[in-house]
Amino acid sequence: MENWKEVNHSLNASFKFESFIAAWGFMNQVALIAEKMNHHPNWSNSYNQVHISLSTHDADDTVTWKDWELAEKITNLLKNK
């Protein structure tokens, strides 16, 4: 998962899309996955860019298997496009 980097106790990645609508659609898909996992990202969106930061709040905001699992599911969303 080449986009993801572990920095300062969080797993981070940035993604660039064709348009705002494409970025927003991606965020909607991630939101559905995160809700199902009950593991929600910290993220931001600026026009066609999305930055995601993952950490597990129940584990004192460190990176756990939950973060890696969500990162993998997010990566798979992009591969299936």
Supply the CATH classification number for the domain 5-79: 3.30.1360.20
Q: Is the model's pTM score more than 0.85? A: yes
| Domain spans, the chain | 5-79
Reported as a single tens digit per residue, the pLDDT across 2-55 is 689 999 999 999 999 999 999 999 999 999 999 999 999 999 999 999 999 999
Predicted pLDDT at 56: 94
Predicted pLDDT at 28: 98
Q: How far is CA 45 from CA 7, 8, 53, 64, in A?
A: 20, 21, 12, 24
